[in-house]
């Protein structure tokens, strides 16, 4: 079974486009490209990765598709599309011609309308994804998990994956409301979860491995082992940890798992979810 990093990013830094990278995130104000990640993946024994959009534009899709075409280790692309567009079906038909483009994501966490995902036009777009075999990555903050619950319930045949375990406030140790929503979300078998992005929800400079255990226990008790996948969130993770530190956290936590369970978490589930070719 291949070992896959199910969530990472590439960009050529543009201060205007990438305005989400604030002054206190200076370490990310740089170019991060396949040639930077590949040796890191190889060092830690990963066979490939899934690159996820960080800009909401058609140009982003072209950029990441080209990265994937030029670099065989990039096994899948999660792009962006305006799900509310009137011609959404035509756009999806066009995108379906790219073998490595497997799904889409919207940066819902930054939307003023916290329930945008429940708007009729948005849901109309979600309803078109399955026709072309596309997945959908859910990127939300904890206050939006209740809306995500409604969305996934309405589309039981659409494969969804929650990004960054729903971004709980680990720094302040907020857990109860998040936990209730995670358990409810996991009851929907069409929903998987990326165990990623945790270090940047903790205290950047003073986190300890023990900080994450309560949240990991919730995830692994709620989702069965066929619906959890490892993601580094590189290079964003660099705000708080190296790739190796992120990997180490999850390797430590899963040390007691069976070889098959670890294999699923570290690659098999991502391969199945994104329909990644292993030949």
Please indicate, yes or no, if residue 47 is contained in any of the structural domains. Answer: yes
Please indicate, yes or no, if residue 279 is contained in any of the structural domains. Answer: no
What is the chain's Cα-based Rg? Answer: 17
- Number of structural domains the chain divides into: 1
Please indicate, yes or no, if residue 21 is contained in any of the structural domains. Answer: yes
Q: From first to last of the 279 residues of the chain, give the pLDDT tens digit.
A: 799 999 999 999 999 999 999 988 999 999 999 999 999 999 999 999 999 999 999 999 999 999 999 999 999 999 999 999 999 999 999 999 999 999 999 999 999 999 999 999 999 999 999 999 999 999 999 999 999 999 999 999 999 999 999 999 999 999 999 999 999 999 999 999 999 999 999 999 999 999 999 999 999 999 999 999 999 999 999 999 999 999 999 999 999 999 999 999 999 999 999 999 987
Please indicate, yes or no, if residue 143 is contained in any of the structural domains. Answer: yes
Please indicate, yes or no, if residue 105 is contained in any of the structural domains. Answer: yes
DSSP 122-147: HHHHHHHHGGGT-EEEE---GGGHHH
Structural domain boundaries enclosing 95 = 4-273
| Global model pTM greater than 0.85 | yes
CATH of the domain at 111: 3.20.20.140
For residue 271, give every residue at least 6 positions away whose Cβ sits within 8 Å of its Cβ, in sequence order, or none. 1, 2, 4, 75, 278
Alpha helices in the chain (DSSP H): 34-43, 58-70, 88-95, 120-129, 145-154, 176-186, 209-222, 243-253, 259-263, 269-273
Edge-first strand order for the sheet with 74-79 is 4-8, 48-52, 74-79, 101-106, 135-138, 160-162, 191-195, 228-230
Per-residue model confidence (pLDDT) at position 1: 79
Please indicate, yes or no, if residue 115 is contained in any of the structural domains. Answer: yes
d(CA 182, CA 4): 24
Please indicate, yes or no, if residue 278 is contained in any of the structural domains. Answer: no
């Amino acid at each position: 079974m291949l070992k896959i990093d199910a969530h990472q990013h590439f960009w050529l830094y543009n201060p205007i486009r990438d305005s989400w990278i604030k002054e206190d995130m200076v370490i990310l104000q740089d170019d991060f490209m396949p040639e930077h990640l590949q040796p890191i993946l190889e060092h830690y024994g990963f066979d490939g990765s899934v690159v996820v959009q960080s800009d909401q534009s058609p140009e982003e899709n072209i950029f990441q598709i080209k990265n994937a075409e030029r670099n065989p280790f990039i096994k899948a692309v999660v792009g962006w599309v305006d799900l509310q567009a009137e011609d959404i079906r035509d756009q999806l038909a066009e995108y379906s011609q790219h073998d490595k483009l497997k799904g889409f994501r919207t940066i819902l966490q930054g939307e003023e309308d916290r329930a945008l995902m429940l708007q009729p036009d948005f849901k109309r777009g979600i309803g078109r994804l399955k026709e072309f075999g596309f997945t959908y990555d859910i990127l939300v903050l904890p206050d939006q998990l209740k809306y995500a619950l409604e969305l996934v319930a309405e589309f039981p045949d659409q494969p969804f994956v929650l990004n960054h375990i729903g971004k709980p406030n680990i720094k302040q140790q907020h857990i109860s409301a998040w936990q209730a929503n995670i358990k409810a979300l996991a009851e929907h078998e069409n929903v998987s979860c990326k165990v990623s992005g945790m270090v940047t929800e903790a205290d950047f400079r003073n986190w300890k491995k023990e900080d994450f255990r309560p949240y990991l226990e919730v995830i692994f008790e709620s989702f069965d082992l066929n619906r959890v996948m490892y993601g580094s969130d590189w290079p964003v993770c660099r705000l708080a940890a190296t790739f190796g530190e992120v990997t180490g956290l999850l390797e430590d936590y899963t040390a007691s798992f069976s070889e098959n369970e670890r294999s699923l978490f570290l690659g098999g589930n991502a391969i199945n979810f994104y329909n990644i070719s292993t030949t």
